[in-house]
Amino acid sequence: MSNPEIVHLGDIQPRANVLKVWEKYRHSSSLVHGFAECLAEFIGVFLYVYAGVGSQLLFILGPILQEEGLSSVFQIGCAYAAGIVFAVMIALPVSGGQLSPGITIAFVFTKGFPPLKAVRYIVAQILGAYIACLLIYVQYRDLIVLAEGVLSATPAGLDAALFTPQGPAGAFGLYVTPGTNLGRVFLNEFICDLMITLVIFSCLDPTNMLVPPFAIPLVIGLAYAVAVWGYSVPGLAANTARDLGGRLAAMTIWGMKAGGGKYAAIAALTNIVATFISCFLYELFFADYARVVSKAHLELIQAHQNHARTPNRVNSESMSDESDKGQISELERA
């Protein structure tokens, strides 16, 4: 070890020679490293959606099949919160754990995040939600078909309920009850998204002494849970990737009828607008670059920097791109 104060995992935990060769290649190849980052975003959103949509589907199928106690709004909120915790824990060390197109786009304009890299992240995020929803459909297909049979036997017919919050498709693509005022739905979505993203940006502030790095996934997960518990019934997407991925999955399964109409635009785009506003509000009125960085956050920043100094590193410039360095320098100047 060149520096006794810096201990890399390879210093204390031997790795098979084959994996050592792979790691050197991974560090030297921008293509492989970029794929790993996109895979982390894909897996993160997959876990978040897989956890939440499963509970949503149970909540919908229960009344149709006359099965009590399968799920509840409280369970759905807890499931999404747990999914967020898992997603951030897995993705943050590799890709930064953005997990939302709104966050990624905001970082392009405020943190110097590379636009082409942002496009790759967004595609990976939407694809993660899409695959998660398709897998959930396959796992629950027998019960979904049974529920569709029950709805078909009602006087209103299957189509009257299928693409509503009470229909099986409503667990994948998000819908509102026919006749709902879309202006109030937009307001509900906007305020919830603003609240969630303000919490996120506060957690990412390295001068916030009340939220150490280990608590970031828990606090963000709790913010999502609160939004689900209190405001999911009027209509809530809270993440463009979850909405678009789920809606594309619903359209893959049930066809273009699952598009969602005018509400689809509200669910997909409001989060991006709210995230922009939240980001600028935080930078203008809450962020203070004269504050002192907390020790816990400083340790995280230094660990990120020292990762680039590992002896196994072939090309130190390929792994930390200019955007990563810019974000680190911003944290150091805070």
pLDDT at 17: 87
On whether the CB atoms of residues 73 and 59 are closer than 8 A, the answer is yes
Output the CA–CA distances (angstroms, integers) from residue 53 to 110, 131, 137, in the order listed.
32, 12, 10
* Token code pair at residue 277: 């506003």
Lowest mean pLDDT among 123-132, 152-161, 235-244, 289-298: 152-161
The predicted pLDDT at position 9 comes to: 84
In a domain, 6, yes or no: no
| End-to-end Cα spacing for the chain | 31
pLDDT-derived band at 121 (thresholds 50, 70, 90) equals very high
pLDDT confidence bin for 4, thresholds 50/70/90: low
Give the chain's count of helices (H) and strands (E). 15, 0
DSSP string, 50-98: HHHHHHHHHHHHHHHHT-TTS--HHHHHHHHHHHHHHHHHHHHHHH---
pLDDT at 226: 98
List CB contacts of 33: < 8 A, sequence separation 6 or more: 26, 27, 318, 319
Percentage helix, strand, coil, to 5, in the chain? 75, 0, 25
pLDDT tens profile 160-176:
899 999 999 999 999 99
Q: What are phi and psi of 12, to 5 degrees?
A: -120, -10
Of residues 304 and 268, the one with the higher pLDDT is 268
> What range defines the domain where residue 207 resides?
16-327
Q: Residue 1 domain-assigned?
A: no
Residues 254-282 have a mean pLDDT of: 95
pLDDT value of residue 269? 96
Average pLDDT of the segment spanning 47-63: 97
Residue 279: inside a domain: yes
Give the residue-averaged pLDDT of 194-210. Answer: 96
Residue 331 binned pLDDT confidence (cut-offs 50, 70, 90): very low
In a domain, 133, yes or no: yes
8 Å CB contact between 271 and 238: yes
Burial (0-12, 13-18, 19+ Cβ within 10 Å), 223: buried
More confident residue, 118 or 327: 118
In a domain, 258, yes or no: yes
Total number of domains in the chain: 1
CATH of the domain at 171: 1.20.1080.10
Q: How far is CA 328 from CA 68, 158, 292, 303, in A?
A: 51, 54, 15, 11
Residue 274 lies inside a defined structural domain of this protein: yes
The mean pLDDT of 238-253, rounded to a whole number, is 97
Q: Label residue 115 exposed, middle or buried (CB < 10 Å: 0-12, 13-18, 19+).
A: exposed
Give the pLDDT mean for 153-164. 86
According to DSSP, residue 155 is labeled T
Mean pLDDT of the chain: 89
Which band of pLDDT confidence, cut at 50, 70 and 90, is reported for residue 317? very low
314 is a domain residue: yes
- What mean pLDDT is predicted for residues 199-215? 95
223 belongs to a structural domain: yes
Residue 13 has what pLDDT? Answer: 87
- Predicted confidence band of residue 87 (pLDDT cuts 50, 70, 90): very high
